[in-house]
């Protein structure tokens, strides 16, 4: 079955006109996107199609290549790996040889700039999406990805915060009350983001939540 799926997907990669990806970090000085993966599926989707579109959250932009590489190292280590299988560094379209002929980079705001001006929420923009906080969160271990918002891309306590920034504030406020405020997430976080402080503030600002 795995072999059949592999053959099916590989054909789709070769037939695709456009490949899309995100980026774990982006170096402003060289215009390079860093993409971490373990299965090589991202490498296929960004190199086989003629056009590559990279969607980058504005908080992922770092000043230099060295800063971006350090972020990649931290993400990998705190995600539980000594080293990731693949780190793709995308600098631009390929004029000859292997790779896309066009590269388009889209920087996504979606509430990030507004949050950067907020004295409490701006701390969440330091999140590297390594997932270390979820490994120690007692609530996440019980409910998993269901905690964070019904339509949220992110999960866990940090997912609730990102739902508040980029999605529904009302939905995030409801989910914020599931947090035990134990502080384990801050201990695990490489950036020492104080999630319980932010979640308390979300509760304080929040909409009224009716009991079922």
For every residue of 47-60, which 3-state class applies, written as one string? HCCCEEEEEEEHHH
Q: How many domains, in total, are found in the chain?
A: 2
Tens of pLDDT along the chain (212 residues) come to 888 888 888 888 888 899 999 999 999 999 999 999 988 888 888 988 999 999 999 999 999 999 999 999 999 989 877 777 789 999 888 777 677 889 999 999 999 999 999 999 999 999 999 999 998 999 999 988 788 766 677 889 999 999 999 998 988 999 999 999 999 999 999 999 999 999 999 999 986 555 55
- Within 8 A by CB and 6+ apart from 173, the residues are 164, 202, 203, 205, 206, 207, 209
- Quick one: 124 and 158 in the same domain? yes
Q: Are both 91 and 23 inside the same structural domain?
A: yes
- Rounded CA separation 49/99 (Å): 8
**Same structural domain, 45 and 93:** yes
Cβ(167)–Cβ(194) below 8 Å: no
- pLDDT, tens digit (0-9, with 9 covering 90-100), for 101-129: 899 999 999 999 999 999 999 999 999 99
Using a pLDDT cut of 90, give the percent of the chain over it. 62
Q: Are residues 159 and 98 in the same domain?
A: no
Nearest to 204 by CA among 149, 155, 164: 164
| pTM listed for this prediction | 0.86
Are 86 and 157 part of one and the same domain? no
Q: 70 with 14: CB under 8 angstroms? A: no
CATH of the domain at 76: 3.40.50.10420
Query: Under the phi-then-psi rule, with left for phi > 0, alpha for psi from -120 to 50, and beta for the rest, what region is 110?
Result: left
* 17 half-sphere exposure, CB direction, 13 A CA radius: 0
- Domain stops at, among 54, 82, 108: 108
Whether residue 84 is found in the same domain as residue 157 = no
Give pLDDT tens digits for 2-16.
888 888 888 888 888
**Pair (41, 70) in one structural domain:** yes
Q: Where are the alpha helices (DSSP H) in the chain?
A: 2-15, 41-47, 65-78, 112-116, 132-136, 138-143, 156-166, 169-176, 184-188, 195-205
Count the neighbouring beta carbons within 10 Å of the beta carbon of residue 187.
11
* Cα-trace Rg, the chain: 19
For residues 85 and 22, state if they share a domain: yes
61 and 104 housed in the same domain? yes
Which residue carries 């983001």 as its tokens? Answer: 193
Residue finishing a domain among 86, 108, 130: 108
Residue for token digits 């079955």? 1
């Amino acid at each position: 079955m795995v072999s059949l799926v592999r053959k099916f997907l590989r054909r789709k990669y070769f037939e695709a006109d456009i490949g899309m990806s995100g980026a774990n970090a982006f170096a402003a000085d060289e215009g390079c996107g860093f993409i971490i993966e373990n299965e090589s599926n991202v490498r296929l989707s960004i190199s086989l199609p003629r056009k590559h579109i990279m969607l980058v959250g504005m908080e992922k932009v770092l000043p230099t290549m060295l800063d971006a590489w350090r972020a990649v190292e931290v993400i990998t280590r705190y995600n539980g790996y000594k080293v990731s299988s693949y780190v793709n560094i995308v600098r631009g379209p390929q004029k000859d040889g292997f790779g896309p002929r066009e590269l388009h980079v889209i920087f996504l705001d979606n509430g990030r700039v507004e949050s950067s001006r907020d004295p409490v929420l701006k701390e969440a923009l330091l999140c590297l999406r390594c997932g270390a906080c979820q490994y120690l969160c007692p609530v996440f271990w019980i409910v998993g990805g269901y905690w964070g918002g019904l339509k949220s891309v992110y999960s866990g306590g940090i997912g609730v915060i990102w739902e508040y920034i980029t999605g529904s504030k009302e939905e995030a406020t409801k989910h914020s009350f599931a947090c035990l405020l134990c502080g384990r997430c801050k201990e695990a976080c490489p950036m020492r983001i104080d999630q319980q402080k932010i979640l308390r503030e979300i509760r304080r600002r929040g909409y009224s939540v009716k009991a079922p």
